[in-house]
Amino acid sequence: MKSKLTKNNWVYINKKAKEGKLLRYPIRHSGDPEFEGEFELRKEISKMSNSNFNIRDYDDAENAISDLNCVFDEKPYDIHMPFAEETCDWVIELENGISLWVQTEDEYYGGGEYSSGVSLEGFIFDNYDKDAILEAAKWLSKVL
């Protein structure tokens, strides 16, 4: 399946969420729309990845990001871990009409507490299609 890393960011993701065109993963947040068969869909998606599309070890996350950057057909730049303490949102468009919202994180909270990694945050679409979402998750499961 052809893929493209876009320059879309949190503003785009938030707009799609307000339009009801975002299925968050792995959990639904309050105020999110409900989609037909959503619970079963989340269960099926979670079985596709040993990491449940959530890698918290910094080195493993770097390796997954490197693998992900190698599979894009088109990209204006590479996905990377944040340069400063923050999170970065990435949108990957797939040819089946589904876009993947992936987030990288590297935050230090003080006192030795930190959080880092890469995770799937949701599926963006114009028309809800369970099969297309499953196909997108299968595509991502090859690297994450």
Taking the chain (144 residues) in runs of 10, the rounded mean pLDDT of each run is: 90 95 91 90 95 95 96 92 89 97 92 92 97 98 94
**Closest of 114, 103, 122, 105 to residue 22, by C-alpha:** 122
C-beta separation of 135 from 44 below 8 A: no
**pTM of the prediction?**
0.93
What is the pLDDT, as a whole number, of residue 28?
Answer: 85
pLDDT value at residue 85: 79
Count up the domains in the chain and report the number: 1
Cα separation of 106 and 82, whole Å? 6
Structural domain boundaries, residue 129: 3-141
Residue of 30, 13, 1 whose CA lies nearest to 133? 1
At residue 30, the pLDDT reads: 80
